[in-house]
Structure 1
């Protein structure tokens, strides 16, 4: 519990001045059920533990703790431009200021990091199914000055398709926007009338619809990998990982 934070580095061809990482649950001081690198202040963990964990991440990355643009995430489509006053109620953030960190907290939802090929702007999005279906990824992409073809996106750790069971209303909502979404649902849910959903595929479809062709991802599953990842669906009361992106000063 006293080791350094364990980090995941995106495998994508971002410009050299673009830095991005995703934390795991390893390397912090929080006690069960938040053990150990919980970065969420809203999950009933001891506030002092969360602040210590956040400082550990900042120290590991060589960043000031006040450079992190934490959000109050509400499964919506608001995008905050950073730096901002206080803690914005938003599910996406974007910045062109070097050293300013866009930060997204997740524990099953899909985190998506963005940058432009010129390395002058970065962004992050929290895409639970509601925000994803409502257009959070498209809203973040629209915050860049360049055409979408000049953007790169990386999809971080989220619930895998073998564990994401949803009701018919979720499938209908996505298909109502784009009929291609039907391919991201399979009729193998444990409950009658339910479906297994592939949030990675749904995310890629929405990014491609927005014109972003350079989309990168790994085969993570927050539910299946309990050693590295928090999962709200698996554990209920649990911590949060952070997906972070910034421009080097």
Structure 2
């Protein structure tokens, strides 16, 4: 049986959002469970079966708009014709178009507005965060920041995410208060808080209604895939779409 996480945020009823775990599914070791990625070496038929089970479990109106993620800052419109495009975020104002990103330590970020007329899904590892993927998404949504709600999904926690000086510098040079998101671990290395870095970048753009951010994919072995922990592993999916009665 597919195990899902439902975001705890005050999104309008017409906004539907979920994140998968690794529990359930058809993939065998080392992808054990509900691997939804077709680029990590898993058996193709198992991935197809996993994606089919996800669609059926959630009664999705359409096949999700799966992306070719590259740790960049490209944001595309969530149309079915854009399925398979190279991008790290998609947004939609149309009912039934399912925006989705896949992660296994990187941060999935879901957006909606307070009246439920737009949604977005973002893949934000440190490269994407530093490069401005959240800012690029807000630009495409093109509405006042106070109208935006954000949910931070399962990512590697601050006690497990060690990075080097170049990552530290990339964030602090842009936003000096980012120093609060780093703790020294050993010479030239830091423990980084992806959740806090995302909150800071969003707040810098005026977004303050931010929820979630209380998971750790690295330490929660039973529920989550983690690239840092396992190297060869599957991917979870975070999905969001606008619902109406015609679907």
TM norm. shorter chain > 0.5: yes
Q: Give the match for residue 202 of structure 1.
A: 197
Aligned equivalents of 1:125 and 1:205: distance in 2? Answer: 16
Residue of structure 1 in register with 2:156 after alignment: 159
| Cα displacement string for residues 65-108 of structure 1 (whole angstroms, at most 9, x for unaligned residues) | x4301000000000010113341100010011111110000000
- Tell me if the contact between 1:96 and 1:121 (Cα under 8 Å) persists in the aligned partners: yes
Separation (CA, whole Å) in 1 of partners of 2:218 and 2:151 = 20
SS in 1 for 2:99: strand
Q: Which residue matches 1:48? A: 45
Separation (CA, whole Å) in 2 of partners of 1:53 and 1:106? 15
> Is the contact made by 1:67 and 1:99 (CA closer than 8 Å) also made in structure 2?
no
Partner Cα separation in structure 2 for residue 143 and residue 218 of structure 1: 23
What is the 5 A alignment of 1:36-115?
Answer: 36-64=33-61, 66-83=62-79, 84-115=81-112
In the alignment, the residues of structure 2 paired with residue 132 and residue 85 of structure 1 have an alpha-carbon distance, to the nearest angstrom, of: 23
- Give the TM-score normalised by the residue count of structure 1: 0.96
**What are the ranges of 5 or more consecutive residues in structure 2 without an aligned counterpart?**
none
The corresponding residue for 1:230 is: 225
Native 8 Å contact 1:43 1:238 kept in 2: yes
Query: Which stretches of structure 1, 4 residues or more, deviate above 2 A after TM superposition?
Result: none
Instruction: Give the Å deviation of 1:133.
Output: 0.4
1:176-195 aligned at under 5 Å gives the runs 176-189=173-186, 192-195=187-190
Q: What RMSD in Å do the two structures reach over aligned CA positions? A: 0.9
Q: Residue 239 of structure 2 aligns to a residue in which SS?
A: strand
Query: Which SS does the other structure have where 1:138 is aligned?
Result: helix
Q: Distance in 1 between matches of 2:131 and 2:142?
A: 22
> What is the deviation of 1:138?
0.7
Match of 2:114 in 1: 117
Cα distance in 2 for residues equivalent to 1:188 and 1:145: 39
CA contact (8 A) 2:65 2:82 kept: no
Distance 2:134 2:51 in 1: 26
SS at match of 2:12: coil
Structure 1 portions without partners, runs of 5+ = none
Distance in 2 (CA, whole Å) between partners of 1:86 and 1:18 is 20
Name the SS of the counterpart of 1:19 in structure 2. Answer: strand
Distance in 2 (alpha carbons) for counterparts of 1:48 and 1:163:
33
CA distance in 2, matches of 1:212, 1:186: 25
1:14 counterpart = 2:24: no
The TM-score normalised by the length of structure 2 is 0.96
Aligned residue in 1 for 2:172:
175
8 Å CA contact retained: 2:114, 2:149? yes
